Amino acid sequence: MAYDPDNIFAKILRGEIPSNRVFEDDETLVFMDIMPRADGHLLVIPKTPCRNVLDASPEQLAAVMKTVQKMAHVVTQALGADGVTVQQFNEAAGGQEVFHLHFHILPRHEGVSLRAPGQMGDMEQIAALAEKIRAAT
């Protein structure tokens, strides 16, 4: 399958649609998920195009995983998380909805279940959490 340069995350990368950015380096960008399944739900993406792990280069995956690990530490510190769930989906049959490689980082607290997917978050609360996470990077 070909990469679609008009997917939502490509538009976020180009600044064509808004996002709550919390971290970026030369190769990766991290921003808040607008339908958070946990408080502080983040998405980590490469700045260069690929759909998912099936077409990503080893270099893209290495850059993204380095940022995934960094952000797992950051949310643990910023939000006092007891654990972190990392999720990643490949192609529609694998549960993927946006076809630009991304890893979900879900800060977890003991006894708190993930919320159901597909529910819009409170944008003020998301912005406040983004500020906390940004301050810890």
Catalytic center residues: 102
Closest contact distance (angstroms) between CB of 94 and ligand AMP is 9
Closest contact distance (angstroms) between CB of 59 and ligand AMP is 22
Amino acid at 74: V
Site string (91-130) toward ligand AMP, x via CB under 6 A: ----xxxx---x----------------------------
Cα(71)–Cα(17) distance, rounded to whole angstroms?
23
| DSSP reduced 3-state for 42 | strand
Q: At what angle do helices 123-135 and 58-79 cross, to 10 degrees?
A: 100
Is residue 8 a contact point for ligand AMP (CB under 6 A)?
yes
31 sits in which H/E element: strand 28-32
Taking the chain, what is the end-to-end CA distance rounded to the nearest angstrom?
A: 35
Beta carbon nearer to ligand AMP, 38 or 63: 38
Binding residues for ligand AMP (CB under 6 A): 8, 19, 33-35, 43, 89, 95-98, 102
